Amino acid sequence: MTEIILRDVRKIYGDVEVIHGIDLHINSGEFVVFVGPSGCGKSTLLRIIAGLEDVSGGEVLIDGETVNNVSASERGLAMVFQSYALYPHMTVYKNMAFGLENAKLSRAEIDRTVRDAAEMLQITPYLQRKPKALSGGQRQRVAIGRAIVRDPKAFLFDEPLSNLDAELRVAMRKELSSLYKKIGGTMIYVTHDQTEAMTLADRIVVLQGGVVEQVGRPLELYNRPRNLFVAGFIGSPRMNLLDARVEGGTLVTRAGSLAVDGLGELEDDRQVTLGIRPEHIGITGSETADFAVTVDSIEQLGGETYIYCSADGLPQLTVHQIGQLPVEEEDSLKLSIDRSKLHLFDAQGQAIVNGLPA
């Protein structure tokens, strides 16, 4: 297993700096996911670690050794690409064996290694097929198998599931998680899909504009986002965000006031953003409800319901309820906010409160 450290890593293309001095410590045997929107620098950072991109500044260390000037082929890492990158004229067996043949391993050792990996990935029946005769999920397994047989120091995955349909992505996520438990090793995984990040990662690195916004365990990021970007990016559907003003122990919004215990030393007239996740908004018949809203649309998913609603002065709110609710468009609802689950962010978008006393 392998430790990977980035120290003040920068990447500049011409006059444009796309990676801005990133420091990161990836522990040996850890599954780390880089997540963020398109263009945030996550794939570039992965390619820098792999040796496929040069650094413009800073250091990349693998097991304590600086590898800035070490070629990709000499770093001992295996990369699995979004496009699979299989040789179309070779069988599955030959695709998986190719790197081992170049390494001059014996035929017996190559055969044993390839068949062991194929058995683990459940692709043994396809070893004599060519890639064009495989489904997308089978091709991805072959690409992963080609990485496994090399026994690399670490595995690097660059959006490996993005070409698959939704149902197959879910199945492959489970397989990747199971594979990680079987073989261990350090894994770095790039995705724009925060659901993949939440379900696969030991730790998530949230990137935006070439900067690390937050690093932490999945539920740590979900429950305690450091800033508005992380709060809005982690979670599906996203956190509800409302403009508010602090006034005498209450949060004043354009649609009403929330009396809140535990605002601490926040000064009156301070402008803040109030955040509340959809599952922390309840539907109530009480006259002391926080907001009166009108239903815009509903998504009934059988085991859960999403309600999208609005009121004068508020952005559209998303409410998540377990089960099936007899709610229709244009219905009037009264909503209550779970005070213990509120998040507050300052004018610069930095968290000042993550969860208040009930």
Give pLDDT tens digits for 125-161.
999 999 999 988 889 889 989 988 988 999 999 988 8
Rounded Cα distance between 213 and 347, Å, is 17
Which pLDDT does position 358 carry in this prediction?
A: 35
Which pLDDT does position 12 carry in this prediction?
A: 96
Q: Tell me the average pLDDT across 245-261.
A: 85
Do 40 and 208 form a contact (C-beta atoms < 8 A)? yes
Is residue 355 very low, low, confident or very high in pLDDT (cuts 50, 70, 90)?
A: low
Question: Which residue type occupies 326?
Answer: P
Which pLDDT does position 189 carry in this prediction?
A: 95
Do 299 and 306 form a contact (C-beta atoms < 8 A)? yes
Residues 6+ apart with CB under 8 A from 91: 127, 128, 129, 130
Give 120-146 as a 3 state SS string. HHCCHHHCCCCHHHCCHHHHHHHHHHH
Give pLDDT tens digits for 60-69.
999 999 999 9
Average pLDDT, rounded, for the chain: 91
Q: What is the DSSP letter of 52?
A: S
Higher pLDDT, 183 or 126: 126
Question: With DSSP H G I counted as helix, E B as strand and the rest as coil, what are the percentages for the chain, rounded to 5?
Answer: 30, 35, 35
Q: Tell me the average pLDDT across 264-279.
A: 88
Give pLDDT tens digits for 223-238.
999 999 999 999 989 9
